[in-house]
Amino acid sequence: QSVLTQPPSVSGAPGQRVTISCAGSSSNIGAGYGVHWYQQFPGTAPKLLIFTNAKRPSGVPDRFSGSKSGTSASLAITGLQAEDEADYFCQSYDITLGDVFGTGTKVTVV
């Protein structure tokens, strides 16, 4: 079990906005470490979606946005599309455990 907790699943209709939370503690996110997000489709390698809390790599649509507040972070997907159906993982640094990934969230477009 990870020290970064995400909801197992979130769902939304096409066009809606969904958010994925990444709950940490004062030993990781709350200590000021950056949060990064990855998208993974079944059978493929993860892809960097957001780095250092809110920055988007080149080529990532601006429908994806990240934020951080206190001991948690969030990934928002606006204008949800069928192609966004995937697993999403947050990542940060923990003072005791080092680099860690979140538990992962499956996004379903209903």
Partner 1 sequence: EVQLVQSGAEVKKPGQSLKISCQVSGYNFTNTWIGWVRQMPGKGLEWMGIIHPGDSDSRYSPSFQGQVTISADKSINTAYFHWTTLKASDTAIYYCARAGSLEADYFDYWGQGTLVTVSS
Residue numbers at the binding site for partner 1 (CB under 8 A): 2, 33-34, 36, 38, 40, 45-48, 51-52, 57, 89, 91, 93, 96-104
Our CB check for partner 1 shows the closer of 62 and 98 to be 98
Torsion-angle region of 62 (φ positive above 0: left; ψ -120 to 50: alpha; else: beta):
alpha
Q: Hey, what are 36's tokens?
A: 């990064």
Q: Toward partner 1, which CB reaches closer, 36 or 68? A: 36
Handedness of CA 107, 108, 109, 110 (dihedral sign): negative
Q: Is 2 or 74 the residue whose CB approaches partner 1 more closely?
A: 2
Residue 19 CB, shortest distance to partner 1, in Å, is 19
Distance of closest approach, residue 62 Cβ to partner 1, in angstroms: 18
Residue 99's DSSP bridge partners are: 93
Q: Distance between terminal CA atoms of the chain?
A: 28
